A and B are shown apart, each in its own frame.
Chain A
Amino acid sequence: MKAIFFFCPLGIDFKIRTIELDGKKIKLQIWDTAGQERFRTITTAYYRGAMGIMLVYDITNEKSFDNIKNWIRNIEEHASSDVERMILGNKCDMNEKRQVSKEKGEKLAIDYGIKFLETSAKSSINVEEAFFTLARDIMTKLNRKMNDGSSASAGGPVKITENRSKKTSFFRCALL
């Protein structure tokens, strides 16, 4: 279940993971997009089809946290309007270097009405939970839509885009 990217993605990459959620097998196509400015034009092209987006900042890097707002704007501009979002504060294993308090992160999430979790990819803290949470939210939304009458196909693809706003993304910037 865990694959570590030793580098930040070159613009974009994706992995497929199948999880079981409430007794259903769900295939996740998880896109990993680079936060670096130079890849911006590339990555935005992939927002459109995403059903969920994870915004990841680095709790040891305040700037990455400040960037979250920009990312949210970016999403609003390029992603579909009903995309599920989530904010993650990564590297929570490095508490001694923390620059962004958990409260700050939670507040931001509340302001936008988005779920929030602090995670550690390195220590595998909350990573799985984050994905399950997002996947469940997506499924809930899908089911609601289906019940509304539109006869959506039974098992449409679920796409999650993980958006990292880290800048120093080399070495273990992403995991899952």
Chain B
Amino acid sequence: MAAIQALQQWCKKQCEGYKDVHITNMTTSFRDGLAFCAILHRHRPDLINFNALSKENVFENNQLAFQMAEKELGIPALLDAEDMVALKVPDRLSILTYVSQYYNYFHGRSPIGGMSGVKRPSSSPAEEPKEKKVVSEPAVPAPAKPPRIHVPPEPKTNLAPQERNLVKENPPATGRRILVETSNTRSSDCAVCGAHVHLVQRHLVDGKLYHRNCFRCKQCSNTLTSGAYKAGTEPGTLICTRHEEPNHLHVFPSSRDIGGQNKLTGTTSTSGIHLKGLESKKPTQEPLKTNPVLRNSSLAKPWEPSYLGTNKSGSVSTSPITRRTDPVGGKTDRPEAGVAPATSHWTASSAKTQQAREIFFQPGLGSSGLPANKVEPVKNHVSPFKAPEAAGKTSSPGVSAPGVNSGNSEKDRARNILMHALPGPSTPGRRGSPKAQPRLLGVRGSSPTTSGFQRLEPKDVPNVSKPTSGPGSSEKPGQAPPRTAAPNSPKDPRHIVGTAAQNPAKDPPVSRPAEARLKVDVKVSKAGGPGVTEEKSESPADWRSRLKPVGTKFPHQGDARNAPKPAEVHKSVINITPSSAPKETKPAFPKVSLMVQEPAPAADQPQKKRLLVSSLDITSGWQKPRPQGEDAPALRKVEEPGWPKKAIASVQPSAPEPFKKRLSSPAVSPSKLSSDYIPEKEIQKEVQQIERDLDELELKGVDMEKQLRKCEGDDREDALMVEWFKLIHEKQLLLRRESELMYRSRQQKLEEKQWNIETELRNLMNKPESLKTPKDKAQEEELLKSYLAIIDGRNEIVENLDEDRIRELEEDKEMAALIRKLDVSRSNQEGEKKKVKFGLFKLLQLKIKS
């Protein structure tokens, strides 16, 4: 109590002398927004013209304060202006928390965007704790406004307002329904899944609220970093900027270019491919915190080259597919612009509001929403129909169905499954969404077959076993139709064979080594060729072994195919294959794993525990996805520099030699021999354990929050607060360890990759200059670029770790001080008021930070 009083006193003092601002409590005194504005104005008079404000303009005042604080001071808007209007009595805990951020900021500490930041807790129907004081006004809430949640998460807060406006303009009908239902709860709902987020689960980033378990990259399942994530192609999904941006942006232009050349014919095996390619291509160097714009620009360079690689490798099978990807990309890249296009194509499904829910409801939708997913389904469908060959292909690939789904889709599917199992308010939404999606797909796909297939897919999704064709199969079909018979036929057989029986002898030498390595866990092997290296990076992950043989094979086969094809058509194409292969493999694997695991949890889980659901999704997919993420960075780096077309061409021919050498030499990368080396399996294991611990903690935290709210204002509050913050801190420690492990894993993969490239490069360099062919030289150049990119990537990780460590040190100090003070205050309730105050502030800070 004392601490809270202290905060109130501080506010009162800040607002002294401001017209119409009287702080008498931590709820209604803030409702008109003037108090926030006054505090801001006191410290930053340049931000607000206080005299121009009127206390009647509740929305505007709050909006102004929240926006300014977020934009100029980096204080996440825990509160929503709309809620301030809608609630006669704003939630006290939320106000306290938000104001404490002002306090922290103006004491020279900038709030660190973090998960524990408390977003306004609102009462949600089912699970939410009831708040005594919150009363919603009947008509006031603006129904038209979509919940903030739907807004695609943007690293840059600046865009947020604009986005919102856009959203308002074209909210899908379905979305509105949903919104209305939850009008009161929106602010405390997860931006990804739409479910209520309890304080302890809160992951507040850039002003948006997420479940900790929801704030993960769709593609790699890694926890996202503030400023380093973007809206996924699918509404309500998030992606690490490093994968996501390049894909979308680049895909569009690249596809066109390729199309012109006719090289595009081969479809990317799976949407995953694009993504992966993008990921890999995406420059690792990008600073996490750079503005989106900057990123884009920076990406653009690397992108083009990489893009080429993707196309070649993945080969864009059909134009429709590429088109689809484009719109998606546009959205993801620029939320603002994206909205408009989205409405045309996706609008219904994509509308941000529904995104999450719809996805959940519809199994198929989730997948469709993602660009990758869309592409895949289309491909699959197309192939069987169009080409007789395709049919054969599909049958064989059928086994690998999971591969088809992109990494993104996995989660969605899982959620969908769960949602089905759970009766929820969302049901109405479901229907609308499913319908919409099929249409969308059909339109996009343009092929009649697609609609039928798509529908089938959803069904498949729920079932563990998926009949749908694997990624490899999908690729084949796509490629076959567009391409001429001659080139296709040879390729196709290979694919089929490869998928069914693993690698056929037919495959080019390059492909073989890779496959073999893949099958065995590749950690040890050091590939000489570029293709090999990429594969290796992936291979280390445990997931491969877990994955079904078919799945693994597929990607490779796909590569092999691609390689041969391009070779036939263009010499340059060959090089690409290595890059493409990794991409393909990644998506396929994660999907598979998810599919299998998810269904079971869904069935078991009670409706109530959405938390659990989300966590389950993650955990299930967790192991596999992660490796991907890790792999991705490595790949990126390699490709980042962007391979000149010519260079690429040269690379392939040379590749075989290095391969042989490597194979013959049993060299082990030094990184593995290092005493610091942690086997990937162990990392995965620990991470999983952490996830379980976190889930447990969160459950505890949810209970504690309820208690806290019950005793709001009474004597037990401070004591409970201590417990609460201890819990939050414990969680924080777990999260740190987790992120450290992630870095570690990424680092190790990079090191191994570096070793591989280095080995190859040295082989090349040892060749007498006079004997080097232009190809050799070009390849040397490329390898060197890849090598440097890896170095940069490793360095980036080191720097991130350093930053984290420094911040953590500060946090620990704060935490220790806080808990100490609180404990003291508890024991001496009366005597130690000053300390208590101090402690409370610290606690609040921690809360925000954590």
Residue ranges of A at the interface with B (Cβ–Cβ < 8 Å):
3, 7, 10-14, 16, 27, 29, 42, 153-157
Contacts and interface: CB of A to CB of B under 8 A. Distances in A.
A42 B788 contact: yes
Contacts of A29: 795, 798
A15 B670 CA distance: 12
A9 to B, nearest CB: 9
B730 interface: no
Interface centre among B761, B788, B810 (most CB of A within 10 A): B788
A155 B806 contact: yes
Interface in B783-836: 784, 787-788, 791, 794-795, 798-799, 802, 805-806, 809-810
A12 B798 contact: no
Nearest to A18: B676
Contacts of B791: 12-14
Given A3-B670, A7-B762, A42-B788, A14 B805 contact: no
B787 A11 contact: yes
Contacts of A16: 798
A156 B799 CA distance: 10
B600 to A, nearest CB: 41
Given A10-B758, A10-B761, A155 B788 contact: no
Given A10-B787, A11-B787, A157 B802 contact: yes
Contacts of A11: 784, 787-788
Contacts of A154: 806, 809-810
A7 B762 CA distance: 9
Contacts of A13: 754, 791
B23 to A, nearest CB: 32
29 contacts: A3-B674, A7-B762, A10-B762, A10-B784, A10-B787, A11-B784, A11-B787, A12-B788, A12-B791, A13-B791, A14-B791, A14-B794, A14-B795, A16-B798, A27-B802, A29-B795, A29-B798, A42-B788, A154-B806, A154-B809, A155-B802, A155-B805, A155-B806, A155-B809, A156-B802, A156-B806, A157-B798, A157-B799, A157-B802
Contacts of A10: 758, 761-762, 765, 784, 787
B193 to A, nearest CB: 36
Listed from nearest, the 10 A-B pairs whose CB atoms lie closest are A157-B802, A153-B806, A10-B787, A10-B761, A12-B791, A29-B798, A10-B758, A155-B806, A154-B809, A7-B762
B670 to A, nearest CB: 7
Given A7-B762, A10-B762, A10-B784, 12 more contacts: A3-B674, A10-B758, A10-B761, A11-B784, A11-B788, A14-B791, A16-B798, A154-B806, A154-B809, A154-B810, A155-B806, A156-B806
Contacts of B758: 7, 10
Interface centre among B791, B794, B798 (most CB of A within 10 A): B791
A148 to B, nearest CB: 19
A25 B195 CA distance: 44
Contacts of A156: 802, 806
A11 B802 CA distance: 24
Nearest to B676: A16
A51 to B, nearest CB: 13
A94 to B, nearest CB: 25
Contacts of B810: 154
A74 to B, nearest CB: 19
A42 B674 CA distance: 27
Contacts of A3: 670, 674
A12 B790 CA distance: 11
Nearest to B670: A3
Contacts of B799: 157
Nearest to A45: B788
Interface centre among A10, A14, A157 (most CB of B within 10 A): A10
Contacts of B802: 27, 155-157
Contacts of B765: 10
A156 B788 CA distance: 24
A16 B748 CA distance: 13
A29 B754 CA distance: 17
A125 B805 CA distance: 33
B136 to A, nearest CB: 45
A129 B326 CA distance: 58
A159 to B, nearest CB: 9
Contacts of A157: 798-799, 802
Contacts of A155: 802, 805-806, 809
